[in-house]
Amino acid sequence: MIMLKGSALSSLTAIFGNSEDKSQDSDKLMDLYWNRAELKKEFAGMRKEQFRLQDVIKQQEGAKARLKQKLEHLEDLLIDPLLAHNVIVFYQLRGLGHKCERKVAKFAEELKQQREQKRHNSIVADWNEERKAEAKVVELRRLEKRDAVLQLEDQLQSEQRRLTSMSGFKRLFSGRSAMKLIDGLAAQLEIAVQEEHMLKEAVAEIKNREPPDHQGLEIPAKRSINLMILSFGQQLYLHFMESDLAESIKESTEKSVGAINYGTRYECDQLLDRIHKSIDSMEKSTDFADVLQKRAKMLGEIAKFPGDNDAVPVARTVSTLFQIDANGVVRTSDADLLGVNYWGMSKIFTR
């Protein structure tokens, strides 16, 4: 066996190093490797975010350029005395179109909330009836158990008095059986009291239950709401059709300012007067709930839906315009309001 002296051992250690040093160096190398990997990952993420922000800046610059172009175009139109009044009419009509969209959206939201509340109230009412019936059954069982407890208490007291009244000689022969009977009655009483307590807690739990959460509408209810929305949309269309504004309103929401010529200054003033009068009469006209219901029913009779789970009708099947006068007389014509998305109804419908 070869034995190395201390100096020789030190020389080898200096050359090759010991295992502990190698382990520490390996750990340091691994740490450097993982740190480098994490830095590369973070750098890649920063580059990705940089590219995204650059795209956002480009989009904003493009939007800013387009907005500037529109503003310059509008200024040019307003500077021209022959076109300035056309601009005013255009934005009055567009504003009226947006006003009608908001009215339809508000009508749809209120109608949806009413139907949801009605459904929720019905569900809660049914739930309350079931809860009361369940509580009544459990309460009857508790009362029966209470009677059983009272009977056991009376019987136990009676047996205890009988045992106490026994003479010494009789106690000697009958005392053991009497005690056994008393112990049995006490055990039954304890179980009965526990069962009564459990039934009492069950009744309390039933009475303290939280009502069911607000639930959504089913397909028939959604369809009914959408038909009412369409009926209201037709009501607005008919109102502005009387003053020959319906098509102009729609056109102003689809085209850009300056693309439509409304005529001379006098003609524009006349058109503005019609617009203001139509708005006033629209705001004053509120007594048409029965007409909406009747029209919605007629729309429902002709409406077709893409599938059983669809709430929005196929546009071409509800393109009939129902005009109902004060005497209930119905006249029909063609007006595909849903197909051309009058008043933005496609985004207002309940789905």
Q: Are residues 54 and 177 in the same domain?
A: no
Q: What is the DSSP letter of 107?
A: H
180: tokens are 């056994």
Residues 264-301: b if buried by 16+ CB within 10 A, e if exposed: eeeebeebbeebeebbeebeeeeeeeebbebbbebbbe
> Token match 């310059």: residue?
72
**Final residue belonging to a domain, choices 153, 180, 207:** 207
Helices 84-165, 219-242: inter-axial angle, 10-degree rounding: 150
Q: Are residues 224 and 302 in the same domain?
A: yes
Please report the pLDDT score of residue 196 as a whole number: 92
Of 6-20, 106-120, 273-287, which gets the smallest average pLDDT? 6-20
Pairing, β 320-324 against β 330-334: antiparallel
Q: Are residues 268 and 343 in the same domain?
A: yes
Residue 88 belongs to a domain = no
Residue 217 · residue 226 · CB < 8 Å: no
User: Band of the pLDDT at 271, cuts 50, 70, 90?
Assistant: very high
Q: Are residues 176 and 221 in the same domain?
A: no
Residue 96 belongs to a domain = no
Residue 94 belongs to a domain = no
* Mean pLDDT of the 29-53 span: 80
Residue 120 belongs to a domain = no
Please report the pLDDT score of residue 304 as a whole number: 96
Residue 252 belongs to a domain = yes
**Final residue belonging to a domain, choices 207, 238, 258:** 207
Quick check: 4 pLDDT over 50? no
Quick check: 19 pLDDT over 90? no
Q: Are residues 132 and 196 in the same domain?
A: yes
Quick check: 170 pLDDT over 80? no
Spatial separation of the C-alpha atoms in residues 119 and 349, rounded to whole Å: 19
Q: Are residues 224 and 321 in the same domain?
A: yes
Please report the pLDDT score of residue 20 as a whole number: 57
Please report the pLDDT score of residue 73 as a whole number: 67
In a 13 Å sphere around the CA of 152, the CA atoms on its Cβ side amount to 20
β-sheet bridge partners, residue 332: 322
Please report the pLDDT score of residue 151 as a whole number: 94
Residue 82 belongs to a domain = no
Report the domain count for the chain: 3
Spatial separation of the C-alpha atoms in residues 44 and 323, rounded to whole Å: 64
**Final residue belonging to a domain, choices 175, 190, 207:** 207
Q: Are residues 305 and 264 in the same domain?
A: yes
Residue 89 belongs to a domain = no
Q: Are residues 278 and 315 in the same domain?
A: yes
Percentage of residues of the chain with pLDDT beyond 90 = 55
* This model's pTM is above 0.75: no
Please report the pLDDT score of residue 40 as a whole number: 80
> Token match 């069911």: residue?
212
Taking only the tens place, the pLDDT of each residue in 286-339 is 788 999 999 999 999 999 999 999 999 999 999 999 999 988 899 999 999 999
Range of the domain at 66: 25-70
Q: Are residues 133 and 256 in the same domain?
A: no
Q: Are residues 166 and 271 in the same domain?
A: no
